[in-house]
Every structure is written in C-alpha cells, then in structure tokens.
Amino acid sequence: MAVVAEQMPMKVGENAAELKAQARVETLRLGCLTLPGVLLIGVIVLAPIAWLFWLSLRNPNGFTLEHYERLLHPSYLISLQTTFELSFLVTGLCIVLGYPMAYLMTQVRERMAALLMLFVLFPVWTSLLVRCYAWLVLLQRRGIVNNWLFDAGLIDSPLRLMHNFTGTTIGMVHIMLPFMVLPLYASMRAISRDYMKAAANLGASPVQAFWQVFVPLSLPGLAAGIIIVFVLCLGFYVTPALLGGGRVMMWSMQIERNVTYYSDWGAASALGVVLLVMTLAILWLVGRVIGFDRMLGAK
Amino acid sequence: MGQISLPITVRNVTKTYGGFVALDNVSLDVASGEFLTLLGPSGSGKTTLLNVLAGFIRPDSGKVLFGENDITLTPPHKRDIGMVFQNYALFPHMTVAGNLAYPLKLRRVSRAEIEERVRRVLDIVQLSGLGDRQVDQLSGGQKQRVALARAIIFEPRVVLMDEPLSALDKKLREHMQIEVRHLHQRLGMTTVYVTHDQREALTMSDRIAVIDKGRFRQIDKPRDIYERPKSRFIAEFIGESCFLPVEVRSGTAAFAGQVLRLAEAPSSANPSQFLVIRPEKLKIVTDRDDAAGLNVFRGRVKELVYQGETLLISVDLPGGHEIAVRQPTSSAAPPPPEPGADVTLGLAPGDTIIVPDES
C-alpha cells in the first residue's frame, strides 16, 4: 500500500472541485424528478387560486372592493356563523365518537382491529351522495329511526330529524368520522404498551395511566384529526345541501348560489378567498399552539 | 435514601400459553437486599417470571410474596416496585424531571420534597442539571440512568430490571454494569435482574438463577456457577468449555482408562458422565516435575488462534476428542508450541469437575 501511495502523489484538495461538481449534478437530477409534481401543483392548485383572487377584485369597470363589501350583509354573516357552529359541533362530536372507537381498535386483537377498520373505511368507499340519500331515508318523518322510536314508546309524534340543523349534523358526523378515527388510530398504535406498563409500575391506576400517559401521547393524532375534520367541514357542500333542505346555509352554498343564480363570478370568488383565508388562519393558529412540525406529523 | 428492602418468595408458580409452558412450577427465594440475576436463553421464561413479579402477568397457579405479604392478586400499581424496562419506557411527553417526579406525584408527595428528591436522585445517577431536558435529547446511556433513577426515586423495596443494558454498546454496558452494582450496594434494595448475557450475570450478581425451558437449572453464587457447574447444560451455557466423556464407578471417574483426581466425588451415580474443561484452567506442562499432582492429557496441537489478550490452542487427543487451552500472550508466558507438535496438558485436581449429562 505504501508503495502505491508514493507512486501517486496528490495535493490536498486537488480533485475537490471535480467531486463538488458531481454532487451538484446529482442534486439537479433529483430535482428534475420532482418537476412533474411541482408543475402539476402549480397549474392545478396555485394558478386557479391566483385567478380566483384576481376575479374577486374586478368588475366590468376595473378594480373594485364591492364584492368584499357585500359580504358584510347580514345573510352572509349568518351563513358564516352557521358554518363555524356546524364545523365546531361536528368536530366535537367526531372527537367524542372517534376517540373511543380508535382506542378500542388498539386494544382488541389484530383480526378484530382489521374488521373494525373495515367498518371505518367502508363508508369512505361508498359514494357521498348515496350515503346522504340513505340518511334521508332513515331520518324522514315516517323513516326507520322515527318508526323505531315510536314503536319503542319513546316518542308520541315523529321528531324532525332532517331538513334542519340536526339532520345536517348527523350526516356530517357520519361523513367526517373516518377522518378523525384514521389519524387517531395511527397515532395510538404507535404508543408502546411499555408506557402503560411503566405508568402502572410507578403507581398509576388504569384511569390515571390513561389520562396522564395515553391521552397526552395520542394528542398529535387528535390534532391531525381535528384539523382535517374542521377544515373539511368549513368548505362542505353536499351533505348540508341535501340534509339541511335549504334551511342550513353554509358558506359553500352561498358560493354556489352566486355562481348559478346570479352568474356572478366576482362575488363567488370573494367568498372563496374569504374561506381560504379563514382556513389558513385556523391552520396557522393551531400550528402556533401545538407546533407546526407536530401538526404536520413530523414528530 | 434509607430503603427497607424486602425478601421475595416465589412458590410453585406455573404459567402456560396454550400448550407452551413458560414457567413450570418454579420456586425461588430472594433474600432481603440481594442482587439476584435470572439468566437464561431467549424463551427460557426469565422475562415471564419478571412480569409475574411486576404484576403484568397473572400466573396460572402459585404464589408470590413480598416479605410476609401475598401479592399474587395485587394489581401492578399497588405493588410499589421499581422497574427498569428494556427500552427504558421514559415518557416522551415529559421532561427528565417530569419523568422522575411522576411516581412521587402519584404518591401525593409535596412539591418541595419532589424537587429535593429529583435533585438528589439526579445526583446519584450523575445527571445533575439535566432535569429540564426532553427525553429525546438524551443519549442512550443518559436514558438508561434516568430510567434507573425513576425506578428508585420512590424508594421501592424491590427493584426489577429487564435487560436494561442490552441496548448500549459494549464499553458503556460494561461501565454501567459496575455503576448499577455500586448503586445497589449503596441503596441495598432487593433486586431481580434479567439478562441473557452470562458475563453480565457473573459481573453483577450476588446469586445467579439459571433458567431454561421454564425451570431453574441451578441457583448459586457466580463463582460456584462457573467453577462448580452442576450439569453439562450449565457448564455449556456459562463460559467456554470442552467436554470429555468419563466413566464413573464407585465415586471415581476415569477418562480413557486413566483415573482422574477430582475436586469432589461425582454427585450422580450415572456411569457415563462428562469432565468439564475450561481452556484457561489448562496448562501446557514441559517436564515431569511440572506435571506433579496434575491430571495430564497428551495430544497433538491442531491450531493456534490469536485473540488479543490470549492465545487459544486446540489440541487433538487420542480417540477423536478435542480440547482447547488458553494461554496469555504476554512475553513472560512460555513460547507457544507449533501446530503438529506433541504437547502434555495439566489440569489441577481442584479444577477437575465431573457433571452428569442433564440435571
């Protein structure tokens, strides 16, 4: 070896430039691989948003703020309030229903957990419209739910379960539940059973161990679920339109009205921009509270 | 931390999983303040027994007592025993101090005392000033110390350790073995330690309980386990050994017709048993005087393997048997023989151990 080293003397750093150039080419090549994705997002997502923003500031005479001024009208403010109320309520109910469900899935045997997962996923594979119409059948005046409650002697006259806030809430919770359960389950499954053993060993009763160790460790999954459900609720259209029967005016329905009834793209665009800004504001707020890397699932 | 330690009594504990017998009617007494190691291959039942002691596994039958108290039916959180888990199980959502304070908070210790005790225990494990660190900012060795500190901070009378050092690299592991040993000597809590590493067991324990297939094979002091194995299994599992078949007749043993001088008479009357030879107990003898009083074996050198601190020399004996002798590599040692050379090996009667095939 020593002989070879003497035969090929080299100055320190002699080929450094060459090696660096090679590293640069490699980085560039990897960059090229992501190009289609970057272009696609640019064309499909960013460009339309920019166009939307442009439209919301225009009328036939040029620049205007009238589309935004119109949003201060009470009917829009009520719509905004309804949207937030429904989104909060649905998210809350999804937590109450989804957390025990996800917890159950982590406690049962593998085979049982797979079966439960199927129950969670099955609705997601079914058309949204089909599920909404199914709820109409279940919840109508002489529907299955009312008949059952009546036969059981729990009610004297049929309850109003659809074409109102109640029906919309029921439908929305059903649609949104999987989006709560899936991230929760993923984060709960990653919690080693040793943590619960350690808590018990240190003197925590099962209830204390659950609240002081398990729940805090499942918070990243809960945060992810809350964000997904809440943000989806804010812009949701089909279910409130069908099960609300026109009585529950969501923000998204105002957008649709402006486009189809009034053919007013400017006003619809302004509504869209407001929704987008609100959504981003909420994400930013949550990110500030629990940390952005945690929110995006980096930890 | 003046701890009152408690003796542990295990009586006829059996645990089966389907057809698999994890613990087969085992009984064990651990004295107050003793450091006992459960040593066995994987699947031997050592971890199952530890989990029975901790209360995570309910035995099918049998009793566990701490002192006078039968705790067989006591749930884990009421047993008051410290435990160090294999992967530490430090809570990632708490700081180091938070982890240490947790068992004290559960015991409603006052805030001022918690602070004081956390400070003191961090001192003991040499992590002073690291209380505010997040758990994932610690190195493996530091996590190990925090896990140890958390297991002793509430002054449990019994501490269990489940292969706590297996995740550390060799140097650190050997260092921590000594540290855990010192900590035990200082605090004096009854300790049950699980490992599959025989060297670790020999280094740390007051007594070693060798377990295999759900049964104890031998429970003894480290020196006795190594120097006086009771069966071929023990001699094979702990340390390095060669075995020569011997014929046992009325308290004497003979290898290839040569009657051996023994440390003690064979324990079993079974005529076909084995002579255990530890390579480092053998010595190459050069003349008649040197061999005086030793059992001698003549053979031919087969191979030399240089291993740093020692040289391992394999020797073929007549009859197709092979034994090995270990020799220090220091320049003061006699020059090693060449492969193919005839050598005479001597074994002191005190090191001449006869074991039955199975106990």
> How far A213 CA lies from chain B's nearest CA (Å)?
7
pLDDT at A180 over 90: yes
Compute the average pLDDT of residues A249-260: 87
User: Does the interface ipTM go beyond 0.90?
Assistant: no
- Percentage of chain B exceeding pLDDT 90: 65
Q: What is the reported pLDDT for A3?
A: 58
Where are chain A's structural domains? 67-295
pLDDT at B220 over 90: yes
Chain A within 8 Å of B108 (Cβ-Cβ)? no
- Containing B185, the helix (H) or strand (E) segment is helix B170-187
Any idea which of A149-163, A210-224, A230-244, B5-19 has the lowest mean pLDDT?
A149-163
- CA atoms of A221 and A215, how far apart (whole Å): 10
Interface contact B80-A194, CB threshold 8 A: no
Q: What is the reported pLDDT for B289?
A: 75
Interface contact B106-A200, CB threshold 8 A: no
User: Both B191 and B330 in a single domain?
Assistant: no
User: Both B54 and B134 in a single domain?
Assistant: yes
Q: What is the reported pLDDT for A265?
A: 84
Interface contact A194-B89, CB threshold 8 A: yes
Task: Tell me if B211 sits within 8 A of B195, measured CB to CB.
Answer: no
Q: Give the closest residue to A107 by CA, choosing from A177, A221, A220, A206.
A: A206
Cβ within 8 Å of A, B 65-94: 75-83, 85, 87, 89-93
User: Both B23 and B143 in a single domain?
Assistant: yes
User: Both B201 and B276 in a single domain?
Assistant: no
- CA atoms of A203 and B124, how far apart (whole Å): 22
Task: Tell me if B38 sits within 8 A of B50, measured CB to CB.
Answer: yes
User: Both B211 and B238 in a single domain?
Assistant: no
User: Both B175 and B191 in a single domain?
Assistant: yes
Q: Give the closest residue to A169 by CA, choosing from A75, A85, A254.
A: A85
User: Both B163 and B249 in a single domain?
Assistant: no
Where residue B1 falls among pLDDT bands split at 50, 70, 90?
very low
Q: How many CA within 13 A on the CB side of residue B140?
A: 13
Any idea which of A9-13, A132-136, A246-250, B78-82 has the lowest mean pLDDT?
A9-13
| Three-class secondary structure assignment of B307-328 | CCCEEEEEEEECCCEEEEEEEE
C-alpha dist (Å) from residue A215 to A23, A37, A89, A207, A224: 46, 37, 21, 11, 14
Compute the average pLDDT of residues A93-114: 94
Using one digit for the tens of pLDDT, what is the confidence trace for B43-78? 899 999 999 999 999 999 999 999 999 999 999 999
pLDDT at A298 over 70: no
- CA atoms of A37 and A154, how far apart (whole Å): 56
Any idea which of A71-75, A192-196, B133-137, B310-314 has the lowest mean pLDDT?
A71-75
Tell me which residue has tokens 């938070």.
B98
Residue B312 lies in a domain: yes
Dihedral, B71, B72, B76, B77 alpha carbons, nearest 10? -30
Q: Give the closest residue to A230 by CA, choosing from A179, A288, A272.
A: A179
Interface contact A203-B107, CB threshold 8 A: yes
Give me B77's structure tokens.
């959180």
Compute the average pLDDT of residues A118-135: 87
DSSP state of A213: I
The last residue of a domain, from among B227, B261, B291:
B227
Compute the average pLDDT of residues A133-160: 85
A150 exposed, middle or buried (CB, 10 Å; 0-12, 13-18, 19+)?
middle
Strand boundaries in B229-271, DSSP class E: 242-249, 252-255, 258-259
Q: What is the reported pLDDT for B166?
A: 86
Compute the average pLDDT of residues A73-78: 88
What CATH number is given to the structural domain containing B160?
Answer: 3.40.50.300
Using one digit for the tens of pLDDT, what is the confidence trace for B168-188? 888 888 888 998 999 899 888
- CA atoms of B270 and B293, how far apart (whole Å): 27
Q: What is the reported pLDDT for A296?
A: 62
- Name the residue type at position B205: S
Residue B3 lies in a domain: no
> How far A71 CA lies from chain B's nearest CA (Å)?
44
User: Both B165 and B305 in a single domain?
Assistant: no
Task: Tell me if B11 sits within 8 A of B28, measured CB to CB.
Answer: no
Residue B195 lies in a domain: yes
The last residue of a domain, from among B227, B258, B282:
B227
Give me A249's structure tokens.
């005016």
C-alpha dist (Å) from residue B209 to B9, B36, B49, B237: 14, 7, 12, 12
Compute the average pLDDT of residues A259-267: 83
- CA atoms of A10 and A286, how far apart (whole Å): 57
- Sheet strands side by side (includes B353-355): B258-259, B252-255, B242-249, B272-277, B353-355
Where residue A63 falls among pLDDT bands split at 50, 70, 90?
confident
Residue B313's contacts (CB-CB under 8 Å, 6 or more residues apart) are B284, B301, B303, B304, B305, B324, B325, B326, B327, B336, B337
What CATH number is given to the structural domain containing B337?
Answer: 2.40.50.140
Contacts of A212 in chain B (CB under 8 A): 102
Chain B within 8 Å of A138 (Cβ-Cβ)? no
User: Both B153 and B26 in a single domain?
Assistant: yes
Contacts of B80 in chain A (CB under 8 A): 203
Task: Tell me if B250 sits within 8 A of B259, measured CB to CB.
Answer: no
Residue A137's contacts (CB-CB under 8 Å, 6 or more residues apart) are A143, A144
- CA atoms of B161 and B151, how far apart (whole Å): 9
Where residue A297 falls among pLDDT bands split at 50, 70, 90?
low
Compute the average pLDDT of residues A113-140: 88
Facing residue for A202 by CB, picked from B56, B92, B106: B106
Residue B198 lies in a domain: yes
Give me A282's structure tokens.
């909420």
Facing residue for A202 by CB, picked from B75, B87, B102: B102
Residue B135 lies in a domain: yes
Compute the average pLDDT of residues A192-216: 94
B298 exposed, middle or buried (CB, 10 Å; 0-12, 13-18, 19+)?
exposed
Facing residue for A200 by CB, picked from B76, B92, B93: B76
Where residue A4 falls among pLDDT bands split at 50, 70, 90?
low
Give me A65's structure tokens.
């703020």
Residue B1 lies in a domain: no
DSSP state of A65: -
B30 beta partners: B8
Residue B133 lies in a domain: yes
Where residue B2 falls among pLDDT bands split at 50, 70, 90?
very low
Q: What is the reported pLDDT for A2?
A: 55
Chain B within 8 Å of A216 (Cβ-Cβ)? yes
Rounded to 5 degrees, what are φ and ψ at B211? Answer: -120, 140
Q: What is the reported pLDDT for A299?
A: 46
The last residue of a domain, from among B192, B227, B262:
B227
User: Both B222 and B244 in a single domain?
Assistant: no
Output the CATH code of domain A67-295. Answer: 1.10.3720.10
Contacts of A194 in chain B (CB under 8 A): 85, 87, 89
Facing residue for A216 by CB, picked from B56, B76, B93: B93
Chain B within 8 Å of A190 (Cβ-Cβ)? no
Write out the residue range of the structural domain in which residue B80 sits: 8-227
B-chain residue closest to A205, CA distance: B77
Residue B194's contacts (CB-CB under 8 Å, 6 or more residues apart) are B37, B38, B46, B47, B50, B160, B161, B162, B163
Chain B within 8 Å of A223 (Cβ-Cβ)? no
Facing residue for B89 by CB, picked from A192, A203, A216: A192
Domains identified in chain B, total number:
2
Chain A within 8 Å of B162 (Cβ-Cβ)? no
- CA atoms of B81 and B74, how far apart (whole Å): 12
Mean per-residue pLDDT of chain A = 88
User: Both B207 and B244 in a single domain?
Assistant: no
